[in-house]
Amino acid sequence: MQGIYGSKAYLFPHPFAPNRSIGVLLEGGLNAELEPDSTWVESSALSGEISSVIPNYLHTLLMLLSPQHHLLLHPSIHFFHSNSPLKTNTHQPFTPTKKTRPFLISSSQQQDNNQHILRKHNAKSTTFLLRRLSQQQQQQQQVAIVVENEEEKEEEEKEKVRVLEMSLVKRRAPQFSGSIYLQQSSQDSTPPLARLFPHGEADIDNERMLKQALEIRRKVTAEVLKECLRGGKFSITYSTNLVSLMPEFIDHVMIEAASMKRVPEFSHSTFNARAKTFIHNSNVVPLVRWLKHNSFTYPQIGKLICMSCGNTESIRRAVEWLKTIYVKGKFLGVVLIKAGGSVLDRSTDELDEIIEYLERNGVRRDWVGYVVSRCPQILSFTMEEVKSRAEFYLNMGMNEKDFGTMVFDYPKSFGSLPLEEMTCKVNYLKEFGLSDEEVGRLLAFKPQLMACSIEDRWKPLVKYLYYLGVRRDGMRRMLTLKPMVFCVNLETTIAPKVRFFQDIGIREDAIGSMIVKFPTILTYSLYKKIRPVVIFLMTKAGVRDKDIGKVIALGPELVGCNIVHKLEVNVKYFLSLGISLRQLGEMIADFPMLLRYSLDVLRPKYRYLRRTMVGTLQDLIEFPRYFSYSLDGRILPRHKMVVEDRLNFKLRYMLACSDEEFHKRVDAAIEKRRRFESGIVDVPLSNNEATDELIEGTQVEFTRAETCQGP
């Protein structure tokens, strides 16, 4: 208990809430309620008198807090208003509680007291409040009525649909758990349609109701079809999946079952009985079993039955015919689906005529099944269209054998593209300078070109090659040697390889020349073929970093060699001859094709050089191109001529020239020796420095030979 004696104000515990305190100003006229955590700071030095004052005012404070004295102190606080808006006219006696707003009591200042006393509503404010509350209640009641009406309408609609469905579907007999349901014809329910039209008035939308009735009929028909399939020993899951893919056939069954009511025999039958009869007569269940036995999937079976328009026998006839042309297994369903419904409507004679025409033009009988399996659209063509497509290729100089091979290699080149698009692509290929016959040979060799787009594939590639320095003649050579280059993707296949060639030091113009020389390099895998070969040459074959670009540019064919069976074997052979790794790298940089020769070619030439020609290993290191010349065609005849004339040429001068130039060099060397032997001063016979060097080398070698022979 705290207080300020100087202002005659004290803080006492709240009698109804011990955790709160009440401050009372007995002589100042102000009473206040403080929070539990609030404290009054002493403002007078006479704090010692607090203990003597408290007992005198305690009785007065308790009287102030007593409910019986409230009316005597302030009659206006006899009642207080509830905070609930629904109980505005209810007055309750004031009782001090924890949630009650604080009240202030004053004995001297009437104006301050009026500002803080809680008052009741007067007549005007009470009337306004009641009117406002009554309007809100009316709006809420109206909204509740509207929502209730909408719910009632929805329930009525659902009830009508349920009643209509009950009128169209048989009732199921009561069954226990695990029992098998068997529909009995004697358990038909009487259509309670009277519930749909209360008071005899048709107050529903006829069109909407008709649509709902049709949907219910479809569901009923689907259930009947499922029941028939389950009767044919098909599982519930298979029957459900198959029926879900046969909407057209279900409509067909529904229409036929409805039309059967006109037949006197079925005039008194139920819809379910008529639907079962039609399904049984159509033999669809045995057909499904037979198609499943022939590797047809249930999506294919569903589509075929819908395509047949109820003529299920046409499906069996088409499948039997496809077996005669060697279409097997899963391709039976693929061919019938992709060929379209026109195949089911065509007779076997028309289909045989198409196959016979293809056989006369080079397509063998045992190829026809493969061709039709990869391009089923051929069976949907008319005979005139088949002839026009065949003549399109035959008129380009393609013979029957090439035509048949082309159709077998890529059947889509014959049947998948429109004839106008094929003509545009052939005309574009002719712009590279190819004749009709050359285009025909090109398409016979690589028919996949017809599947490439001009705008998306060919034109961007042509621009890119032109940027690399490849002109029209080079592109023509690329088309002739490796037409597959025009079928690969530019961004993902060609461009990364070109960037790799630039990174290893090959210039752009050299890249263009390299791909013209060996266009196959663009079809190799960058990470599985090109990079491993480059790494092998730099690490195992002694090629230096500055020479690797030169090696690939001069010998791009190395990229196509197998590392284990070709490159590594040749490297080991040359190292076994006594050639160091550094010298081998220089030899490869001078003549990259050195590693492409087989050991059967290298061994005889090396043996002839060391044993017959008495050459040194240094001669081979200086002129590695020696292995590129034919042993019987050039090396042996020229060496024999040099020996007969008692000459000794270096390998480069003896082999790296034409036959005519070689004879001139031999004659010049003989004349030079004759002049030397006769003592005539040597007069240069030619201003050619290579000839002078050759003659000088010949004299030195001749002198060495004479010295070696001796007396």
Query: In this predicted model, what pLDDT tens digit does every residue of 169-219 receive, in sequence order?
Result: 554 554 444 444 444 444 444 444 444 445 444 445 677 788 888 888 899
pLDDT at res. 167: 58
Q: Is the pLDDT of residue 330 over 60?
A: yes
Q: Is the separation of the CB atoms in 510 and 516 below 8 Å? A: no
d(CA 38, CA 20) in angstroms, rounded, equals 9
Of the candidate ranges 213-217, 378-382, 470-474, 602-606, the one whose mean pLDDT is the lowest: 213-217
Mean of pLDDT values over 602-610: 94
d(CA 207, CA 187) in angstroms, rounded, equals 30
Report the candidate in 665, 659, 699 with the shortest Cα–Cα distance to residue 682: 699
Mean of pLDDT values over 590-614: 93
pLDDT at res. 300: 94
Residues with Cβ within 8 Å of 615's Cβ and at least 6 positions away in sequence, in order, are 609, 651
33 phi, psi to nearest 5 deg: -110, 130
Q: Is the pLDDT of residue 687 over 50?
A: no
Q: Is the pLDDT of residue 225 over 90?
A: yes
pLDDT at res. 156: 74
Confidence band (pLDDT; 50, 70, 90) for 226?
very high
CA dihedral 568, 573, 576, 581 (to 10 degrees): -50
Q: Is the separation of the CB atoms in 220 and 272 below 8 Å? A: yes
CB atoms within 10 A of CB 690: 12
pLDDT at res. 99: 42
Residue 162, classified by CB atoms within 10 Å of its CB into exposed (0-12), middle (13-18) or buried (19+), is exposed
Read off the tokens for 285: 């269940």
Confidence band (pLDDT; 50, 70, 90) for 311?
confident
d(CA 315, CA 344) in angstroms, rounded, equals 6
pLDDT at res. 705: 38
Confidence band (pLDDT; 50, 70, 90) for 530?
very high
pLDDT in tens, 91-101: 444 444 444 44
Q: Is the pLDDT of residue 387 over 60?
A: yes
pLDDT in tens, 275-302: 999 999 999 999 999 999 999 999 999 9
Mean of pLDDT values over 647-672: 91
CA dihedral 492, 498, 502, 506 (to 10 degrees): 160
Q: Is the pLDDT of residue 35 over 80?
A: no
d(CA 82, CA 103) in angstroms, rounded, equals 15
Tallying the residues shown for the chain, one arrives at: 711
Please report, rounded to a whole number, the percentage of residues in the chain having pLDDT higher than 90: 56
Confidence band (pLDDT; 50, 70, 90) for 648?
confident
Q: Is the separation of the CB atoms in 215 and 209 below 8 Å? A: no
Distances (CA, A) of 585 to 540, 542, 550, 598: 9, 4, 12, 18
Ranges 130-139, 589-598, 692-701, most confident: 589-598
Share the mean pLDDT of the chain. Answer: 78
> Please, what is the angle between helix 400-409 and helix 436-445, to 10°?
40
Q: Is the pLDDT of residue 498 over 90?
A: yes
3-state SS, residue 350: helix
Confidence band (pLDDT; 50, 70, 90) for 134?
confident
Rg for the chain (alpha carbons), in Å? 54
Eight-class DSSP state of 611: I
Mean of pLDDT values over 697-703: 41
DSSP symbols for 138-202 = HHHHHHHHHHHHHHHHHHHHHHHHHHHHHHHSPPPPP--TTPPP---GGGPPP--GGGGSGGG--
CA dihedral 76, 79, 80, 81 (to 10 degrees): -120
DSSP symbols for 358-415 = HHHTT--HHHHHHHHHH-GGGGGS-HHHHHHHHHHHHTTT--HHHHHHHHHH-THHHH
81 phi, psi to nearest 5 deg: -95, 140
Report the candidate in 559, 567, 565 with the shortest Cα–Cα distance to residue 594: 567
Q: Where are the alpha helices (DSSP H) in 555-688?
A: 568-576, 581-590, 599-607, 617-622, 636-644, 651-655, 659-678
Read off the tokens for 568: 């590594």
Report the candidate in 16, 33, 5 with the shortest Cα–Cα distance to residue 67: 16
Residue type, 228: C
Residues with Cβ within 8 Å of 324's Cβ and at least 6 positions away in sequence, in order, are none
Q: Is the pLDDT of residue 157 over 50?
A: yes
Please list, residue by residue across 693-710, b when 16 or more beta carbons sit within 10 angstroms of its beta carbon and e when fewer do: ebbeebbebbeeeeeeee
Read off the tokens for 257: 């079952």
Report the candidate in 355, 353, 373 with the shortest Cα–Cα distance to residue 365: 355
Distances (CA, A) of 202 to 158, 207, 209: 16, 12, 11
pLDDT at res. 351: 93
Q: Is the pLDDT of residue 270 over 70?
A: yes
Q: Is the pLDDT of residue 366 over 70?
A: yes
Q: Is the dihedral of CA 369, 375, 380, 382 positive or negative?
A: negative
Q: Is the pLDDT of residue 414 over 80?
A: yes
- Cα 407 vs. chain centroid, distance in angstroms? 30
Mean of pLDDT values over 13-37: 42
Of 166 and 115, more confident: 166
pLDDT at res. 165: 62
pLDDT in tens, 590-599: 999 999 999 9
Read off the tokens for 433: 């300078």
Read off the tokens for 400: 């029957």
Q: Is the pLDDT of residue 28 over 70?
A: no
Read off the tokens for 464: 């890119």
Residue type, 84: S
CB atoms within 10 A of CB 346: 17
pLDDT at res. 92: 43
Give me the residues paired with residue 93 across strands: 79
d(CA 320, CA 352) in angstroms, rounded, equals 13
d(CA 705, CA 614) in angstroms, rounded, equals 12
pLDDT at res. 557: 94
Read off the pTM: 0.63
Q: Is the separation of the CB atoms in 485 and 522 below 8 Å? A: yes
Contacts 24+ apart (CB under 8 A), 353-360: 353/383, 354/378, 354/379, 354/381, 354/383, 354/386, 355/325, 357/383, 357/386, 357/387, 357/390, 358/386, 358/390, 358/407, 360/400
Report the candidate in 243, 219, 215, 245 with the shortest Cα–Cα distance to residue 229: 243
pLDDT at res. 309: 83
Eight-class DSSP state of 541: S
Mean of pLDDT values over 502-508: 92
pLDDT in tens, 37-71: 433 333 333 344 444 444 444 444 444 444 444 44
Of 139 and 519, more confident: 519
CB atoms within 10 A of CB 401: 11
Q: Is the pLDDT of residue 467 over 60?
A: yes
pLDDT in tens, 419-465: 999 999 999 999 999 999 999 999 999 999 999 999 999 999 999 99
